[in-house]
Amino acid sequence: MKPLTTNEGEEIVTELKPLKVLVIEDSDDDAVLLAEEIRRGGYSPDFDRVEDEGQLRRKLAANDYDIIVSDYSLPQFTALEALEILKSTGKDIPMIVVSGSVREATIVAVMRAGARDYVMKENLTRLPLAIGRELEEATQRRGLRQLEDQLRHSQRLESLGVLAGGVAHDFNNLLTGIMGNVSLAMEEALPESPTRPMLQQALQASEQAANLTRQMLAYAGKGKFFVERTELSALVRDVSALLHASVTKNIELVFQLQDSLPPVNADRGQIQQLLLNLVINAAESIGPEKPGSIFVATGRRFLDEAGLRQNVVHDQLQPGNFVYLSVCDTGEGIEETILSRIFDPFFTTKFTGRGLGLSAVMGIVRSHRGAIRVATVPGKGAEFTVFLPDSTAVLSLLQPAAAYPAPAEGGLILVVDDEETIRRTAKVILERRGFRVFLAESGRAGVEAFRHFHDRVDLVLLDLTMPVMSGNDVLRELRAIRHDVPVLMSSGYNEAEAMARVDTGEVAGFIQKPYTADQLVEKLRSALAQKSF
């Protein structure tokens, strides 16, 4: 091919853009003309040429192309058939048809079939312009699809979070009956009774099940939080010994921590759990015998809107300064086919086991109004980076507990809960401790009962989540009848999530389901022992 020259014959030196082109053409001469014209348009074409259907299918299966240029009619098949083959691959590759003079109806048919443009052979100078336009539009389409994929992924995670939170809440209700009755049975069993070890095992299994629900709530973004100003580098140093103990000896753990980071509003325990999960995940990627390294780093970074969109989760964060925590490993990396599923609950690539580690990480990040980014190269490792907004504000999720008078001996407790097992369990537990108990199976029944003997009620044990009339609605009615009645709120959700739903003022305390008999009595006595308003 001749170099481009000026009218005076001087060679024009231009930087050609690389372009991978698939040409569907049976004529060598026409293929050379196409290549020359594309090069004149400022491209450096890397050509593959095919002449029949079989060659086309093999090339499309083995390669990705920037553009396809096809003759309209070949001895073996036509551009219309080529378009059908391209469509069957699912690949978004712009196809431009080049041909001699044809009828207008033919051009319309080709465009309707999916061709991006139609260029006449006697006007090939238009081909580079058509290619440039199609490349730009293809880039825009890919960007739009990426945004749509991110939106669908975010919606799917949100739906899974709602499901996980609901399941965890209902499961906690069931476990309350189990743990409460088992703990009561242990009180009845003599120390030498052969049933006592069995009851102890049942209680331990129930507590393990309760821990599973806490992980599900963490994924749903409703984990238990105590938010305080936290310096990430100091936090990492505090748990460095635990991190070293969590990886095998074949793995080198390297810390790259920036000093004097601005504080973030975070729950230390939750961030430590997040870090531990990421390090364990990285260690499993490396394996128990293969040598490798895990790098734990902290720092500060400004994220603009484009930077935020690169994250798996960013929950409508505004651009600004963020403190980051990253865990990078030299393991196997993550295959593209599963990258979009790694944060799903119970998804795992292990032969056995159920994966909640990364899904819990997702929930913790979302609850902290943060973002998380994943970068990976299969076979070379992966990096998880968590971004948290830096802030000087101190958050307090809960108000200090209100104060109430101590009860008279044998005080009356009103238990309002829509779950029959929980009501009966609470009744047995409290009556064994000397309290008198009145049960209400719904919010409305609880309000009516309280209306009739409000002056004799020492405390109300109130479930937050009930049908028709929620615990918050009940609390509002109770306050209207008697403003100083102590209320111990109960829920399958954690304290922060539950109290965020209460808008009628302070309560005497909170107890999360499931609970044992001792835990319920301790919370109840603590609420009753406080002073009045």
- Domain hosting 270: range is 228-389
Residue 356 sits in the same domain as residue 236: yes
More confident residue, 262 or 147: 262
Q: What is the pTM of this model?
A: 0.41
Structural domains in the chain (count): 4
- Over pLDDT 70: what percentage of the chain? 81
Q: How far apart are CA 458 and CA 470, in angstroms?
A: 21
Residue 98 sits in the same domain as residue 184: no
Q: pLDDT band for position 166 (50/70/90)? A: low
Among residues 27, 68, 72, which one has the least CA distance to residue 47?
A: 68
Which CATH number goes with the domain that contains 215?
1.10.287.130
Given this model, what pLDDT does residue 483 score? 87
Is it the case that residue 532 has pLDDT exceeding 50? no
Q: List Cβ neighbours of 389 (8 Å cut-off, separation of 6 or more).
A: 264, 265, 317, 320, 321, 322, 323, 369, 370
Residue 268 sits in the same domain as residue 316: yes
Backbone angles phi, psi at 115, to 5 degrees: -65, 145
Residue 466 sits in the same domain as residue 341: no
Within a domain: 275 = yes
Q: How far apart are CA 23 and CA 67, in angstroms?
A: 9
Within a domain: 121 = no
Is it the case that residue 316 has pLDDT exceeding 70? no
Strands laid side by side in the 117-120 sheet: 43-50, 17-24, 67-71, 95-99, 117-120
Is it the case that residue 110 has pLDDT exceeding 60? yes
509 close to 488: Cβ distance less than 8 angstroms: yes
Given this model, what pLDDT does residue 318 score? 78
Which CATH number goes with the domain that contains 384?
3.30.565.10
Residue 241 sits in the same domain as residue 293: yes
Residue 437 sits in the same domain as residue 510: yes
Q: Which residues pair with 325 in a beta bridge?
A: 298, 386
Q: How does the average pLDDT of the chain come out, rounded?
A: 80
Within a domain: 144 = no
426 close to 437: Cβ distance less than 8 angstroms: yes
Picking from 219, 236, 258, the residue at the C-terminal end of a domain is 219
Task: Choose the weakest-confidence range: 65-74, 157-166, 245-254, 444-453.
Answer: 157-166
More confident residue, 209 or 408: 209
Picking from 90, 115, 140, the residue at the C-terminal end of a domain is 115
Residue 208 sits in the same domain as residue 236: no
Among residues 449, 137, 58, 348, which one has the least CA distance to residue 129?
A: 137
Q: How far apart are CA 213 and CA 223, in angstroms?
A: 10
Q: How far apart are CA 8 and CA 14, in angstroms?
A: 17
Within a domain: 268 = yes
Residue 257 sits in the same domain as residue 360: yes
Neighbours of 400 (CB within 10 A): 7
Is it the case that residue 74 has pLDDT exceeding 70? yes
- Over pLDDT 90: what percentage of the chain? 20
Among residues 207, 257, 201, 255, which one has the least CA distance to residue 232?
A: 257
Mean pLDDT, residues 438-443: 91
352 close to 226: Cβ distance less than 8 angstroms: no
Pairing of strands 251-256, 95-99: unpaired
Residue 385 sits in the same domain as residue 236: yes
Among residues 85, 96, 80, which one has the least CA distance to residue 133?
A: 96
Given this model, what pLDDT does residue 14 score? 57
Given this model, what pLDDT does residue 475 score? 92
Q: pLDDT band for position 531 (50/70/90)? A: very low
More confident residue, 282 or 143: 282
Within a domain: 4 = no
Residue 268 sits in the same domain as residue 342: yes
Residue 211 sits in the same domain as residue 233: no
Task: Choose the weakest-confidence range: 150-159, 378-387, 467-476.
Answer: 150-159
Q: pLDDT band for position 409 (50/70/90)? A: very low
Ranked by mean pLDDT, the top range of 82-91, 180-189, 367-376 is 82-91
Residue 268 sits in the same domain as residue 352: yes
434: tokens are: 């000397």
Among residues 359, 238, 236, which one has the least CA distance to residue 299?
A: 236
For 54-78, give one letter per residue: b (16+ CB within 10 A) or e: eebeebbeeeebbbbbbbbbbeebb
Within a domain: 247 = yes
Is it the case that residue 139 has pLDDT exceeding 60? yes
Within a domain: 486 = yes
Radius of gyration (Cα) for the chain, nearest Å? 33
Mean pLDDT, residues 395-414: 49
